Amino acid sequence: MPIDDAGELRIDAYEALFGERTRIVALGHVSNALGSVNPVRRMIEFAHARGVPVLLDGAQAVPHLAVDVQALDCDFYAFSGHKMCGPTGIGVLYGRASLLEAMQPFKGGGDMIHTVTFEKTTYNSIPHKFEAGTPPIAAAIGLGAAADYLSSIGMAAIGAHEHALLQYATEQLDALPGVRIVGTAPQKAAVLSFVLEGIHAHDVGTLLNEEGVAVRTGHHCAQPLMKRLGVSATSRASFAFYNTLAEVDALVAGIRSAQKVFA
């Protein structure tokens, strides 16, 4: 799907991509590289009107937004645990029951079988049909604790705090000479990507690290996106509910220090 210069999906182009051979729509709920919140509800409605199911990657959305898969009416929704303060190596795949019932299991093992004879095999009911063998029990308990923790704070409160951080950081970086914010969609989650004129993102990350400021640098597993926006890499500051305005000030001070090094 093409995007515009602000990092928003072009809905007109999205709709034009549909044809007789379209079988599924797969897209991110929130961009990991830019923070853009995609208009997924509208896109799902368009796809469903043409009988096409939709899979959403919600790894970047679940830690920042209140997500209701039934309200979205998506067919599949996936997210990872470590993005939401949980353990690594575990996540969630939600699927519409009717679709899961019609699908064949992709893995064999304990607990996914109902009956076995030499003549035939009957699979267990969902979700057990897709949970072969011993699951990552400890990680699942940790993931549940992480979900409870975020819920206890409240996703609305988390979203409001992160929006304030993003707005403040955007204003501060906009005021710095030689800084370009990459991704300026009106609807964004708590991600701020930027480039410094004449300084490679990896050098920016190294210098900020020396100032005690952690950012992610590189193409963020989105090389086609970087090419579209005319950059080789960006530095990405990601905010969460535990960050503060003082830490945004530390980011700004670190950027100024990096610019002095390369002046």
| Dihedral sign computed on CA atoms, order 90, 91, 97, 102 | negative
Can you give the residue range of the structural domain that contains 219?
156-261
pLDDT in tens, 116-161: 999 999 999 999 999 999 989 999 999 999 999 999 999 999 999 9
Evaluate if residue 263 carries a pLDDT over 90.
no
**3-state SS assignment for residue 192:** strand
How would you classify the pairing of strands 54-57 and 25-28? parallel
Helix axes 201-210, 245-261, angle to 10 degrees: 120
Evaluate if residue 250 carries a pLDDT over 90.
yes
160 and 149 in a single domain? The answer is: no
Domain annotation covers residue 116: yes
Q: Write out the H or E segment, with its range, that includes residue 226.
A: helix 223-229
Q: What is the pLDDT of residue 159?
A: 96
90 and 177 in a single domain? The answer is: no
Give pTM, 2 decimals.
0.93
Q: Of 86, 81, 85, 62, which Cα lies nearest the Cα of 72? A: 62
Active site residues: 221
Q: What is the pLDDT of residue 128?
A: 93
Quote the radius of gyration of the chain (alpha carbons, Å).
Answer: 21
Percent of the chain whose predicted confidence (pLDDT) is above 70: 100
- Per the structure, the count of domains in the chain is 2
Evaluate if residue 16 carries a pLDDT over 90.
yes
Domain annotation covers residue 4: no
CATH of the domain at 116: 3.40.640.10
pLDDT in tens, 42-72: 999 999 999 999 999 999 999 999 999 999 9
Final residue of a structural domain among 153, 174, 193: 153
Q: What is the DSSP string of 11-67?
A: HHHHHHT--TT---EEEESB-TTT-BB--HHHHHHHHHTTT--EEEE-TTTTTTS--
CATH of the domain at 254: 3.90.1150.10
CA distance 9 to 138: 38
Q: What is the pLDDT of residue 124?
A: 95
198 and 144 in a single domain? The answer is: no
Q: What is the pLDDT of residue 141?
A: 98
Arithmetic mean of pLDDT, 108-123: 92
CB 84 within 8 A of CB 146: yes
Final residue of a structural domain among 136, 153, 170: 153
Final residue of a structural domain among 103, 134, 153: 153
Which of 10-14, 109-113, 211-215, 236-240 bottoms out in mean pLDDT, i.e. has the lowest? Answer: 109-113
Q: What is the pLDDT of residue 38?
A: 97
Arithmetic mean of pLDDT, 85-89: 96
168 and 149 in a single domain? The answer is: no
Q: What is the pLDDT of residue 13?
A: 96
CA distance 164 to 208: 22
Q: Of 240, 198, 205, which Cα lies nearest the Cα of 219? A: 205
| Dihedral sign computed on CA atoms, order 112, 115, 119, 120 | negative
